[in-house]
Every structure is written in structure tokens, then in C-alpha cells.
A and B are shown apart, each in its own frame.
Chain A
Amino acid sequence: MKSLNDITFSRRAFVGAAALGTAALAAGGLEAAAPEDAFAEEAGGETYVYTSCPMCNQSVFCGLKGTVKDGKLVRVEGNDQHSKPKPCLKGLTSLQNVYDPNRLLYPVKRTNPKKGIGEDPKWERIGWDEALETIASEFNKAKETYGAASVTFHSGDPKEHLPVFCRVAALFGTPNVSWGGAQCAFALAMASILNYGNTIMTMPAAQTKVHLQWGSNIAWSMYPQPTAYKGMLDAKRAGCKYIVIDTRLTPTAVQLADLYLQPRPGTDGALALAMANVIIEEDLYNHDFVENWTEGFSEYAEYVKEFTPEKAEEITWVPADKIREAARMWAEAGAGTMWVSPHSTTHHTNGVQSTRAITLLPALMGYWDYEGCRTVAPGVTGTDDSAFQLADKIAELAPGRAGVDRWPVWSAMSTYYQNNGLLEYINDGLIHAGLFLGTNLMNFAQTPLLQEAVSTLDFAVACDIHLNPWTHDYMDMVLPAAVCWERVAPFQAQPNGIIGSQAAMEPAGEAKEDWQFLLDLGCALGFEEECFHGDLHACMQAYLDAGGSGATVEDIQAALPGVYELPMSGEWQPRQYEQTGFGTVSGKVEFKSGMLEQLGFEGLPVYEEPSVSPVSTPELFEQYPLILTTGNRVPWYVHSKYRHTPWLNQFMPEPLIRMSHEDAEARGLADGDRARMFNQLGEIQAKVEVTNMLHPGNVEILHGWEQANSCLLIDRTFDPISGFPTFKDALCEIEKI
């Protein structure tokens, strides 16, 4: 080392550094590093962990295997022992989701008390203790002042927290609990449950002769799982015929369809009724099944008479002969299955009734519970979590939900409240505070109205993976959620049992897994005993105990990467309905729904034009001559998620307006041009993609873009039966910028 005399270093640097140093010493030395601790030499090997993919979040989903090396997740692949063994690109990208540098990693609270559009929250980092104390104090204050129902437990897209979420909400005493099924999935379930007392959607089996694929582009959505589409292609090779009905000429239609029908958006109900018209007029229906196992057939048959293929052609754009061909292909096959998208035919004001009309087509043929059709197989035992969720308490609280009068059918069929009315619930003084877990305000039509309403809440706390200004700027506090590789709690039901999850690492920063946070919240709210004193393991065990399987958390962990197998409740026998009937009011399949009639709705699956359409609003159509459909799927994103994750972002880095060659040419637009898309409600701007997918007169944009929020162009009109938003009932015009 040189001596100091040889050195002409900056005197200023020396003086400054020395002076600064005194403070550093007083501040306490090292905080992040641990020097000279004895630590074991690393083996340098790889270890494996197993979890279920939450990237799509229909629920926890495909099985994932993670490789961990030197404290880091280095590789993600499928778990071949899982019932959904092959994740898609989104699942593989969970690796990049963990290490996204933009994740929120600490609880933050706003320091600017003024809330509203354009206000900077001025976030400040806080500790979990302060966060939990504040939430508990604010929620209890609202409870004392307005009652427990004034606090909403508002869940967005995630599902895997729901058992604990519902439990803590029930303990607190609020019935105003929501889930993402209120915009997706559940309206489809409602339609088939109203008809059959059960769901109808099934993938084709080996004995299936015809499969009707309606509004569902599985090649892209990969729902119900990535390998399902391969199964469909295999079934096609084995001879199954496919009728694909979709407003868009999707990859699924191109690859699978023996017959493809492209209806005008929102007219699916008329098309289904016209198919029924042909099947009945040509006497192709299954007399035995219809006479013995259905209710309301004669009125239904009378009603569908008006939907001749020719009349339906006028309504739906589908040529009459194609409707006849589809009806015959469906009716003459002898064994048929059906898959309907959870969110395409339901996003119209006529959603449930149209979807009922569609899902009644199997009833005409008696395609129910025998080989090659929808089979009602006994499920696995020991996974019922209703006791854990405190279902009795939830049922007791349910009449106090907001929106029960507005959407009585939803409210009768679901234990959740219909959160599409959140705007009115807040503005009418029903909701004063809320926990918004995974909630996105861009999910609501006319988003700014929601942003303003949420700003007026006495207290709002969100829990999320990212801090999203369009939602979280209107909150008082935001909490960091752990991602799948950082959590152990969610179990996943499997066809033959239950499978557990392992964490690859501790959560980054101070993120917490949902179950842990909810337990901590429950304790802070005063329910220590019922929330297991915050002990996650005890909570997981209680969850298993409630199902009655007798399994321990350790049993399930030990079974990984495999499934912890549980007994089935019985063996499948065909046509069980001959013994049990159907779970409807009449005990039969209902062409005329007893429940709908009881609740003041038309019992038949009547067709009405969507509230906004070229037919129902001709004056609007003159100004805005393009039908706008939103809320579709692409293979690389789910809702607003992963828009900036490199492996996914590369495929669609920015919003695209998809339109036909004809519509583009008529407006002087070419592929890649920037355009404004607008209507009487709002305007967004994006690049144009000219495509064969869209029928002339129909355009679409993917939802969930912060820079081009499609919900600005959607009205606050809802399906009166499901309460679903009308993401596909809109008109617009497009102009080059």
C-alpha cells in the first residue's frame, strides 16, 4: 500500500466521507449483510418444488415443477403427476413473474388525505403491524357505525384465497363478499344449472360423435387446460365431428370445424332457437327423453316456431341452410358434447337466456349422462370446504347482501354478492369500507365512475402483486401479495384427490401469501381463536379436517409431486337421473325454468336483441356502425395481467384494434396504423390489426390495457338475470389518427 504522502486524493472527498461516517456509525453498522457468519458450504445442487399455477386464475391450475438452485428459482416446467401436467407459456413465465422488478413488495399507506382522480396518494411504506391495526380499526369503526355489511370483502380475479377470505368475512359478519365469477364463469353455470340443475360443459370423449363448440376459442384460452385442446384434436382424428359457432373465425374454428357458423355478436340465442326449430320441425328430437325428463317442452316448441332458419338468418347473419345443416349434424349424431365459453355469450343483456337456449340443445337430444355425452361422474370425497368457509354463517348473512333485489336470480344461485353494482352500492351508502383483493377497477364499465366512488369510501385497502394506479390510487392502503412460488397454502382438488403446494423461497420484500395475510387480518379483527392465532399450518390442517378426508398437511406434502389420493364417492353408472332426477324446481330438465318464473322472469329461453345493437338502437348504429366486442382472450395474457412480463409481452406489446379488411379499407386504415375508437361514451386509441378473424361490421379490442381501457366504451347495462356486464354489447366508430 502506498503511503498517504504519495496520494493526491480529493480532500473534499476525505472530509465529506469522514463526516458522513460518524452518522453511519451511530446508525448501527451493517443491516443487509452478515459477514463472517459461519455458513455451510453449498452443495451447489438443484432441488425441486411443486405448486399449482395461478397465472390464469380460473383457480389454481396446471401442475408446476420448479427447480431451485442457490436460493433462486431457475427453471419451471410441468409436474407430470398432476392432472393438468402441461402448463402453457403463462405457467412457464411464472418464473419471470416472481422476479418482476415492478412488484409491490411492502405495505404502503397514502399520506395525501385527498382521494380522487388526479390526486397523488403520496405512498409511504409501513410495517405489517401498523397496516393490520389500521385496517382492523377502520373496519370495526365502519361496523359500529353502519353495520358489518358496510364493509365489502371484494375479490377480483384470484380464487385460491377464497376459503379463508369467505371465512374471515363471515366471522366479521359481512355478506358483501365478491369473486371474479361475477364477470366470468358463473353466468354460464347459472344458465346450465337453471336448465339441468348441473353444468353441461364437457370435452368430447372417445364415443362422442359430434361436439358443439360455442364462442370458445380453446386454442388460445387453453381453458379448461392446455392439454384439453390436444384432446379435441385427437377426438377429431378419431372421427368426432365439430360444429364451431363463434362470432370470430378463431384458430379453434379453423382447425376443428367441420361446420363453422359466424353469428352477429349477441344473437347466439336466436341461432340456438333456430337450431331447435329445425330439430323439432324435422322431428329429429329424442321423444323419449323429452317426454319423460323435461319440463315445458310444448311451450318451448311453440315458441321456437317463430325462429325459422330464414328468420334467424335475418337476425344472426348466418345463412339458413347452414343453420339447418348444423341442427341436423347435432341431432343425427347419437352422442354429443358441448363446450360454451364462460364469458362470450354471457356478456350481453340477453346473456343467460341466450346461453340457456344454447345449453338446452343437448336436452332436445337427451345427450346426458351416457357414453360420449356429458357424464355425471361421482366426485372425490373429503374435499368439501364449506364447513371451513363457515357456510352456515354465510347462508344466514346472505339475505343482507347488497343487490339482492336488483339481481334476484344471481342472489338466489350464488352466495356471493353481485359486485357489478359496486358503484351504486357505494353511492347509495351501503358500502363504506372495503378490502379489495386482486381487484381491478378497469374491470368495471365506465371505470372513472368507480374510481370516484371508491375514493369516497371511509377506508379502502387493496392487496395485490403490483401497485396499479388506475385502481390503487383511490385506496388508502395497499398490501403486497406473494406469488405462487412463494406460498404453501392453497390446496388444489384433483380428480382423484388433493394436491399441495411448496414454496421455492420466502416471499420477496415483505410480501405475504394471501392465506397468511387473511389469517393475520382475522386475528387483528378480533377472531384469534377462529383464525388459528395466525398459524398458517394450523389453518391448513383445519381446512383439511373440515373436508373430512383425514389427511394431514404433512400427508399431502409427502405425496408431492403426486396427488394425495382420496376415495371416490361411487362409480359412474349411466343415466343416474332415472333414479335421482335433475336438481331443478321440477326435478326435470327445464325448457321452461321454474326458478326464473318464481323470480319474475320469463321461464322460456326467450330471445331479445341486446340493449345496444344495429337492430335495437338504429340511430346509434348510424353514428357508430361497428359492433364492438371486448373481453376476449389471447394466449399470452389473462385479463390485465402480464402485460409487461418479457416472455409474454413480446407477442403483443401494445393494444390492438382488430378489424376486418373490409372495415379497414372503408376507413383508409392499414395494418399498424394508429386509430381512435370511440362512441357516445368515450374514446381510446390503439394500433389497428387487420385480420380475417373478424366479420365485417364487428371489431374488437382486448380488455385491461391501462393505456386503452375498453371499459370506457361500455355502458353500465347488465343482464338482469346474472347481473353480468355487457362487455360485448357496444357500437363504435374507428378513425385514423
Chain B
Amino acid sequence: MDEMLCSVLEGRTTAYGLLARLLNREVDEELLAELRALPFAADEAVRPNGPNGVNDANDPGRRDNAADLPIAAYSADLDEGNRLMGGYLAGIGNESGDAQRALTDLAVDFARLFVVRKRSESVAPYPNESVHTSKEHLRMDGARDEVRALFRAEGVRAADAWRLGEDHVALELEFMQTLAARTAEAASANDEETADDLLSKQASFLDRHLLNWVPAFAEAMGRTARTDFYRGVALLLVAHLREDRALVKQLLG
């Protein structure tokens, strides 16, 4: 199989994995080190230069050799997400204690986003689909049942220790990760039928579930976050889902 396609299919699998990891629990020391080593630092951000784009020599998003980049490939949210996350990571100093301070800062923001709730709240980055879609705004409502049935149809279930409902964003992303991995496997074995079938299921899951609620979730997340890191994650999350939906559509033809 096309090596490039293989890499694309593996790439989307691991992107789902990372997003799931970021939304499941706090960044730990190991993950922080890995993230800091990644190239999505601010200077990597891409956006079309002038006349409508920014053309400031000091703009971290400026890219001088982007003339060959088609406008169609430009995703403002993806770039902004990269810029925000990269900017946050680049801003962590290298003195002793800097990384620990950043981890605490990120953990506090994670708790603010996903753990700390007021009883009076109704608009917040609730990580469960059913909270966003049920009439009475509850966990474990209809969406959880639907998602659980879909998971089971694919031989996927929540881990034994999982206590947050199957419609949690991390679990839904891991479900996509699992199907994406199976797609890559099928494609590398030239089993196009299986790959297409899996891609159809992913398209449907994106349409009926993730894209149905994650944009609202991510918007609340972006509003609530106090670090650029999680503001960036919120943007990247939705941008990734949308881009991936477009990719799946194109792959399916």
C-alpha cells in the first residue's frame, strides 16, 4: 500500500490517541517532556501571509515559504490551536521547578475544566455527550446507551476501572482511535472492503456523536480554560474532528 496513505492512517489513529489522553487526565511529567519536544511550537504555525492574512515579521505564525501552501489546506483553528499549545509549552522555562510549576498550572486548569463544578452550572465543558444532548442535562442519558451499543457492536467496551460513562469524550476518541487503527491495519493488508466498512462506521460515529456535541463542549472548554495549552487543545480537538471527517469522506470517495 501507498506508504504515504499508511502514514496518514496511522497519523490520524495516533492523533485520536493523544487527544483522548489529553482529555482523560492531567499532563504528567513524561507527557510534558514529549509535548515540549514536538514541533508544534509557535514558529511552526502556518497561516497564509497577506494581503488578508497577517504579514508582520514579528508574528509567530508568519511563514515565509508558504507560497506553495494551498489556501484549501489552511485551517485557522488548527493553526491557532497549534500556536496556543506551542506557545504555552515554549513559555515554560528550563530552570529547576519550572516544569513542576507548569504541571501544577496545567493540573489546576484541567480540574477547572473537568472536575470542579458548581451545582448551579448548566453550561460547562462537561466531558460526557449525554449531558449536552439530554433534555434534562444528565450523565448516562440516551447518548450513553447509543454509544455503548455501538461500542459493543465493534467489540469495544469501557475498561474495568472506567467509572464515567461510555459517552465520555476520552472514550469516544479512543473508540475512534481503535477503529482508525483497524482501518490502517486493513489498508496495509490491502483489505479495502474492511477498511471502507470501518471508515463508514467512523464517518457515522463522527456525524452522529463526536461532531454532534464536541464543538459545544470545546467552545465551553475554550471559554473556561485559563491556560493557552487547554485553549489550544479545545481548538485542535474540533479542528481535528472536522479535518478528519473531511479526510474520511475523501477516502471513501
* Residue among B20, B119, B163 having the largest count of chain A Cβ atoms under 10 Å: B119
Query: Does the CB pair B115–A72 fall under 8 Å?
Result: no
Contacts of A1 in B (CB 8 A): 187, 192, 195-196, 199, 251-253
Query: Does the CB pair B163–A32 fall under 8 Å?
Result: no
Chain B min CB distance to A93 (Å):
11
Contacts of B246 in A (CB 8 A): 9-10
Encode B62-97 as 1/0 by CB contact (under 8 A) with A. Answer: 000000011011110011001000000000000000
- Is A636 located at the chain interface by the 8 A CB criterion? no
Contacts of A528 in B (CB 8 A): none
A9 vs B242: C-alpha distance in the bound complex, in angstroms? 11
Query: Does the CB pair B24–A643 fall under 8 Å?
Result: no
- Nearest A residue (CB) for B140: A99
Query: Does the CB pair A469–B118 fall under 8 Å?
Result: yes
Query: Does the CB pair A100–B138 fall under 8 Å?
Result: yes
Out of A16, A24, A25, A508, name the residue touching B40 (CB < 8 Å). A16
Query: Does the CB pair B141–A104 fall under 8 Å?
Result: no
- Is B11 located at the chain interface by the 8 A CB criterion? yes
- Nearest B residue (CB) for A29: B17
Chain B min CB distance to A76 (Å):
14
- Nearest B residue (CB) for A640: B119
Query: Does the CB pair B117–A102 fall under 8 Å?
Result: yes
Encode A95-111 as 1/0 by CB contact (under 8 A) with B. Answer: 01011111111101001
Out of B25, B38, B139, name the residue touching A22 (CB < 8 Å). B38
Contacts of B151 in A (CB 8 A): 33
- Is A466 located at the chain interface by the 8 A CB criterion? yes
Out of B126, B159, B247, name the residue touching A31 (CB < 8 Å). B159
- Is A43 located at the chain interface by the 8 A CB criterion? no
- Is B220 located at the chain interface by the 8 A CB criterion? no
Chain B min CB distance to A328 (Å):
50
Encode B154-176 as 1/0 by CB contact (under 8 A) with A. Answer: 11111110111000101100110
A102 vs B116: C-alpha distance in the bound complex, in angstroms? 8
Chain B min CB distance to A276 (Å):
46
> Given A20-B18, A467-B118: A506 and B163 within 8 A (CB)?
yes
Query: Does the CB pair A36–B155 fall under 8 Å?
Result: yes
A24 vs B116: C-alpha distance in the bound complex, in angstroms? 26
Contacts of B73 in A (CB 8 A): 8-13
Query: Does the CB pair A12–B78 fall under 8 Å?
Result: yes
- Is B189 located at the chain interface by the 8 A CB criterion? no
Out of B75, B122, B157, name the residue touching A12 (CB < 8 Å). B75
- Nearest A residue (CB) for B173: A32
A647 vs B140: C-alpha distance in the bound complex, in angstroms? 16
> Given A31-B170, A32-B162, A99-B139: A21 and B13 within 8 A (CB)?
yes
- Nearest B residue (CB) for A486: B163
Contacts of A9 in B (CB 8 A): 8, 73, 243, 246-247, 250
- Nearest B residue (CB) for A17: B15
Query: Does the CB pair A101–B159 fall under 8 Å?
Result: no
A469 vs B117: C-alpha distance in the bound complex, in angstroms? 9
A35 vs B148: C-alpha distance in the bound complex, in angstroms? 13
Chain B min CB distance to A3 (Å):
6
Out of A8, A12, A467, A469, name the residue touching B74 (CB < 8 Å). A12
- Is A57 located at the chain interface by the 8 A CB criterion? no
Contacts of B239 in A (CB 8 A): 13
Query: Does the CB pair B253–A11 fall under 8 Å?
Result: no
A9 vs B75: C-alpha distance in the bound complex, in angstroms? 11
Out of B34, B145, B253, name the residue touching A23 (CB < 8 Å). B34
Query: Does the CB pair B174–A2 fall under 8 Å?
Result: no
Chain B residues 21-45 with CB under 8 Å of chain A are 21, 24-26, 30-31, 34-35, 38-40
- Nearest B residue (CB) for A4: B5
Query: Does the CB pair B38–A20 fall under 8 Å?
Result: yes
Query: Does the CB pair B75–A10 fall under 8 Å?
Result: yes
Out of A18, A21, A34, A106, name the residue touching B156 (CB < 8 Å). A34
Query: Does the CB pair A12–B79 fall under 8 Å?
Result: yes
A123 vs B226: C-alpha distance in the bound complex, in angstroms? 13
Query: Does the CB pair A31–B145 fall under 8 Å?
Result: no
- Nearest A residue (CB) for B199: A1
Query: Does the CB pair B115–A102 fall under 8 Å?
Result: no
Query: Does the CB pair B10–A32 fall under 8 Å?
Result: no
Contacts of B115 in A (CB 8 A): 104-106, 108, 123, 125
Out of B137, B156, B157, B247, name the residue touching A13 (CB < 8 Å). B247
Query: Does the CB pair B108–A32 fall under 8 Å?
Result: no
Out of B14, B119, B141, B251, name the residue touching A17 (CB < 8 Å). B14
Query: Does the CB pair A33–B178 fall under 8 Å?
Result: yes
- Is A567 located at the chain interface by the 8 A CB criterion? no
- Nearest A residue (CB) for B14: A21
A169 vs B98: C-alpha distance in the bound complex, in angstroms? 41
- Is B218 located at the chain interface by the 8 A CB criterion? no
A16 vs B82: C-alpha distance in the bound complex, in angstroms? 8
Query: Does the CB pair B10–A21 fall under 8 Å?
Result: yes
- Is A122 located at the chain interface by the 8 A CB criterion? yes
* Residue among B30, B139, B159 having the largest count of chain A Cβ atoms under 10 Å: B139
A98 vs B139: C-alpha distance in the bound complex, in angstroms? 9
Contacts of A20 in B (CB 8 A): 14-15, 18-19, 38, 40, 236
Chain A min CB distance to B244 (Å):
8
Contacts of A26 in B (CB 8 A): 30-31, 34
Out of A18, A96, A124, name the residue touching B108 (CB < 8 Å). A124
Query: Does the CB pair B136–A646 fall under 8 Å?
Result: yes
Query: Does the CB pair A30–B30 fall under 8 Å?
Result: no
Query: Does the CB pair A35–B136 fall under 8 Å?
Result: no
Encode A50-78 as 1/0 by CB contact (under 8 A) with B. Answer: 00000000000000000000111000000
Chain A min CB distance to B88 (Å):
15
Out of A16, A18, A102, name the residue touching B78 (CB < 8 Å). A16
Query: Does the CB pair B119–A643 fall under 8 Å?
Result: yes
> Given A24-B18, A100-B139: A466 and B112 within 8 A (CB)?
no
Query: Does the CB pair B117–A466 fall under 8 Å?
Result: yes
A391 vs B195: C-alpha distance in the bound complex, in angstroms? 69
- Is B225 located at the chain interface by the 8 A CB criterion? no
* Residue among A16, A42, A123, A124 having the largest count of chain B Cβ atoms under 10 Å: A16
Contacts of A124 in B (CB 8 A): 104, 107-108, 111
Contacts of A16 in B (CB 8 A): 15, 40, 78, 82, 236, 240
Query: Does the CB pair A101–B170 fall under 8 Å?
Result: no
Chain B min CB distance to A408 (Å):
39
Out of A23, A36, A72, A101, name the residue touching B131 (CB < 8 Å). A101
A1 vs B144: C-alpha distance in the bound complex, in angstroms? 31
Query: Does the CB pair B144–A72 fall under 8 Å?
Result: yes
Query: Does the CB pair B18–A125 fall under 8 Å?
Result: no
Chain A residues 436-481 with CB under 8 Å of chain B are 466-469
- Nearest A residue (CB) for B169: A32
Out of A2, A6, A507, A706, name the residue touching B120 (CB < 8 Å). A706
- Is A371 located at the chain interface by the 8 A CB criterion? no
- Is B204 located at the chain interface by the 8 A CB criterion? no
Chain A residues 615-656 with CB under 8 Å of chain B are 643-644, 646-647
Chain B min CB distance to A479 (Å):
12
Contacts of A29 in B (CB 8 A): 17
Query: Does the CB pair A35–B156 fall under 8 Å?
Result: yes
> Given A16-B78, A24-B21, A123-B111: A99 and B35 within 8 A (CB)?
no
Query: Does the CB pair B148–A70 fall under 8 Å?
Result: yes
Encode A278-300 as 1/0 by CB contact (under 8 A) with B. Answer: 00000000000000000000000
Q: A21-B18, A707-B120 known; 19 other A-B pairs, CB under 8 Å?
A: A1-B196, A3-B2, A10-B72, A10-B246, A13-B244, A21-B13, A21-B15, A22-B38, A31-B174, A32-B24, A32-B168, A32-B171, A33-B178, A70-B148, A101-B138, A104-B116, A508-B164, A509-B164, A647-B136
> Can you list 16 A-B contacts (CB < 8 A)?
A2-B250, A2-B252, A3-B5, A9-B8, A9-B73, A10-B243, A17-B15, A18-B10, A21-B17, A32-B24, A33-B159, A39-B157, A72-B145, A96-B136, A111-B108, A125-B115
